[in-house]
């Protein structure tokens, strides 16, 4: 098949080739544009989700660490009270108390009782052989000087261990300072923090966490050789040293880019940083786009082959006409051999329909991607991004509307008791009730987690309350996926009657929702300026 025709003045492209080239570049441009849009959307979404999840994970580790530290202080406080009440009246009793504390509390590698001069009067285990020794470390002197509960920064102890010292002051019954009882944690040996923080692996996606003390020194890190290194120049560590938790994309002290979530441990001022390499997020997006391409490219190839066939068929009468004209010029043919021209109209329509079908197919795929970006995958409701766009549009046009915030009561218990699959079914079940009960113009959205929102244009808070009650009653009396009674709490506010902007509107609806929960759950509350009236 020849796509060009040679003449004395040069090459001339044939019509079929020109049509095919036009179709090819149209399809290629549309596919490229859709791929770029999908890539940017997926990358932005995955980046934000990774930052959110890393912040949540860092917060959970921080909360667990803080709880353990507070529990340590409670244990030391109980021991200090016993000693204060006369439990340290003799050496045997003091030794028994520190032995009991170390054996009964799983936090400490060793326990010491120190008098007001800094001399160790009892130590467990006794194999430490430090009884009668005087503590001279800065941390020990600080505990004696401050005379209050403390958790020290890591330091090298008298027994040549890298430790953290948790101390609690001991006072006599008449208020005389007697010293302190202290529990030590050996950072380089098996201990509660090693189990929680020190024994970790880098996840498959490259995520890991590390811990810094209040001065920015590494306490825990997957690379043990880096423990003790000062990383206060890290942007996230700077935020932690200022007492702030949060999330950010950063470049660490080694020049590597990460998506980091970070959280402060209140009891000590330590910081937890959980981070994922930024390049791994890009790799994940590349994998998604590659899978999309594997699905799309075969279809595109078929469409292009069809376009090639149609373009050839469309140009065939013209080619025959040109060939016949050449033969006529040479005297090798007659006029009766010329093809009929009216067949060209049909073939042009076929080509037009083919190109249109190809472009429609690609546009439909783009619409599918766009719809997926606006829809919550689990429930099929509009997602939070789409909800915010609707609210912004209505607010800018000053359309009066009400909002109902819905939260499934005790949803965590559903997940914990019946599993996450039943939890997902419960979310879909509640979403189905919302869709069936809403009005034709109302917009049902998934706000996040077990929270939903309904936007009601041109409807007052009282009208929204009627819908909220129908939803509440139907949910309570319905057959939930778990077979248990399921209830919801609802908060209602109205724009612009109660709130002047969208931010204030959702804040009011949240306050009403929390008022419903504080009032016993399974109720709807309308936000009123200055008060919340629970209407069940």
Residue 443 burial class via C-beta count within 10 angstroms: exposed 0-12, middle 13-18, buried 19 and up: buried
Q: Annotate 468-489 with b (16+ C-beta within 10 A) or e (fewer).
A: beebbeebeeeebbbeeebbbb
CA distance 308 to 306: 5
Q: Is residue 114 part of a domain?
A: no
Do 501 and 408 have their domain in common?
Answer: yes
For the record, the structure tokens of 478 come out as 């319905």
- What's residue 326's pLDDT? 66
Nearest CA to 141 among 182, 194, 110, 171? Answer: 182
Question: 392: which residues sit within 8 A by CB, 6+ positions away?
Answer: 502
Q: Is residue 422 part of a domain?
A: yes
- What's residue 359's pLDDT? 40
CA distance 230 to 208: 18
Instruction: Check the CA dihedral 62-63-69-72 and report its sign.
Output: negative
CA angle 371, 376, 381 (to 5 degrees): 90
* Among 342, 374, 406, residue at a domain's last position: 374
Do 474 and 521 have their domain in common?
Answer: yes
* Among 348, 374, 400, residue at a domain's last position: 374
Q: Is residue 489 part of a domain?
A: yes
Q: Is residue 495 part of a domain?
A: yes
Do 362 and 395 have their domain in common?
Answer: no
CA distance 286 to 193: 37
What tens-digit pLDDT sequence spans the chain (536 residues)?
555 554 445 556 666 667 767 777 777 777 677 767 766 777 777 788 888 988 998 898 888 888 888 888 898 988 888 888 765 455 677 788 888 888 888 888 889 999 989 899 899 888 888 888 898 888 889 989 999 998 888 877 777 777 888 899 999 888 899 999 999 888 777 777 667 665 555 566 778 888 888 888 887 787 877 877 899 889 999 999 999 999 998 888 778 888 999 999 988 888 999 988 888 776 766 666 667 667 777 877 787 777 777 666 666 666 665 665 666 566 555 555 555 454 454 544 444 445 444 445 644 665 666 666 678 889 989 999 999 999 999 999 999 999 999 999 999 999 999 999 999 999 999 999 999 999 999 999 999 889 999 999 999 999 999 999 999 999 999 999 999 999 999 999 999 989 889 899 999 999 999 999 999 999 999 998 765 444 44
The CATH number that applies at residue 469 is 3.30.70.270
- What's residue 511's pLDDT? 94
- What's residue 536's pLDDT? 40
Q: Which residue range forms the structural domain that includes residue 364?
A: 4-43+281-374
* Among 324, 350, 374, residue at a domain's last position: 374
Q: Which long-range contacts (C-beta less than 8 Å, at least 24 apart) are formed by 468-471?
A: 468/404, 468/406, 468/492, 468/524, 469/524, 469/535, 470/437, 471/404, 471/406, 471/433, 471/434, 471/437
Do 363 and 394 have their domain in common?
Answer: no
For the record, the structure tokens of 138 come out as 């800065």
Do 404 and 527 have their domain in common?
Answer: yes
Other beta carbons within 10 angstroms of residue 8's beta carbon come to 4
Distances in whole angstroms, Cα of residue 510 to Cα of each of 389, 405, 447:
19, 7, 11
Do 343 and 460 have their domain in common?
Answer: no
CA distance 490 to 511: 10
Question: 215: which residues sit within 8 A by CB, 6+ positions away?
Answer: 153, 230, 232, 241
Q: Is residue 132 part of a domain?
A: no
Do 312 and 354 have their domain in common?
Answer: yes
Tally of domains within the chain: 2
pTM above threshold 0.95: no
Q: Is residue 258 part of a domain?
A: no
- What's residue 357's pLDDT? 46
Catalytic (active site) residue 392: no
Distances in whole angstroms, Cα of residue 459 to Cα of each of 21, 242, 422, 468:
55, 47, 34, 13
For the record, the structure tokens of 379 come out as 């429930």
CA distance 379 to 366: 21
Catalytic residue among 77, 450, 466, 469: 450
Do 439 and 342 have their domain in common?
Answer: no
Do 394 and 473 have their domain in common?
Answer: yes
- What's residue 419's pLDDT? 92
Q: Is residue 486 part of a domain?
A: yes
CA distance 358 to 368: 15
Do 398 and 348 have their domain in common?
Answer: no
CA distance 348 to 310: 9
Q: Which run of H or of E encompasses 186?
A: strand 177-186
DSSP structure class, residue 154: P
Do 524 and 469 contact (CB within 8 A), yes or no? yes
Do 56 and 261 contact (CB within 8 A), yes or no? yes
Do 362 and 410 have their domain in common?
Answer: no
Do 491 and 527 have their domain in common?
Answer: yes
Q: Is residue 494 part of a domain?
A: yes
For the record, the structure tokens of 79 come out as 């021991």
């Amino acid at each position: 098949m020849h796509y060009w025709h040679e003449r004395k003045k040069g090459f001339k492209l044939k019509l079929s080739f020109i049509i095919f080239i036009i179709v090819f570049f149209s399809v290629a441009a549309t596919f490229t544009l859709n791929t770029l849009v999908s890539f940017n959307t997926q990358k932005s979404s995955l980046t934000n989700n990774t930052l959110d999840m890393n912040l949540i994970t860092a917060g959970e580790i921080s909360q667990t660490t803080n709880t353990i530290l507070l529990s340590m202080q409670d244990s030391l406080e109980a021991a200090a009270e016993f000693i204060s009440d006369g439990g340290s009246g003799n050496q045997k009793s003091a030794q028994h108390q520190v032995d009991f504390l170390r054996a009964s509390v799983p936090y400490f590698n060793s326990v010491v009782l120190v008098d007001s001069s800094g001399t160790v009067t009892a130590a467990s285990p006794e194999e430490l052989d430090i009884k009668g020794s005087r503590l001279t470390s800065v941390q020990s002197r600080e505990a004696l000087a401050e005379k209050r509960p403390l958790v020290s920064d890591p330091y090298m102890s008298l027994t040549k261990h890298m430790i953290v010292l948790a101390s609690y002051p001991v006072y006599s019954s008449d208020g005389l300072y007697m010293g302190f009882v202290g529990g030590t944690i050996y950072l380089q040996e098996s201990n509660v923090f090693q189990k929680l923080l020190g024994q970790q692996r880098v996840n498959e996606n490259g995520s890991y966490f590390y811990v810094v003390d209040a001065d920015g020194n590494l306490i825990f890190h997957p690379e043990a050789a880096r423990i003790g290194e000062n990383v206060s120049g890290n942007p996230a560590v700077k935020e932690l040293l200022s007492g702030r938790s949060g999330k950010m994309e950063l470049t660490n002290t080694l020049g590597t880019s990460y998506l980091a979530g970070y959280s402060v441990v209140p009891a000590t001022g330590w910081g937890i940083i959980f981070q994922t390499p930024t390049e791994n997020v890009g790799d994940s997006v590349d994998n998604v786009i590659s899978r999309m391409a594997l699905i799309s490219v075969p279809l595109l190839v078929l469409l292009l082959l069809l376009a090639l066939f149609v373009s050839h068929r469309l140009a065939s009468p013209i080619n025959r006409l040109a060939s016949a004209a050449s033969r006529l010029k040479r005297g090798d043919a007659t006029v009766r051999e010329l093809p009929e021209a009216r067949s060209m109209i049909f073939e042009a329509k076929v080509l037009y329909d083919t190109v249109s079908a190809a472009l429609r197919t690609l546009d439909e795929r783009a619409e599918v991607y766009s719809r997926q970006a606006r829809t919550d995958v689990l429930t099929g409701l509009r997602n939070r991004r789409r909800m915010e766009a609707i609210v912004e549009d209505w607010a800018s046009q000053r359309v009066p509307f009400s909002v109902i915030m819905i939260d499934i009561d005790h949803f965590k218990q559903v997940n914990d008791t019946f599993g996450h699959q039943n939890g997902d079914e419960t979310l879909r079940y509640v979403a189905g009730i919302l869709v069936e009960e809403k009005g034709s113009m109302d917009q049902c959205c998934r706000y996040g987690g077990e929270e939903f929102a309904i936007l009601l244009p041109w409807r007052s808070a009282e009208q929204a309350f009627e819908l909220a009650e129908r939803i509440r009653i139907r949910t309570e009396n319905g057959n939930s996926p778990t077979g248990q009674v399921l209830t919801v709490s609802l908060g209602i506010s109205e724009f612009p009657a109660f709130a002047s902007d969208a931010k204030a509107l959702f804040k009011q609806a949240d306050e009403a929702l929390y008022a419903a929960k504080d009032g016993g759950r399974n109720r709807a509350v309308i936000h009123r300026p200055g008060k919340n009236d629970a209407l069940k």
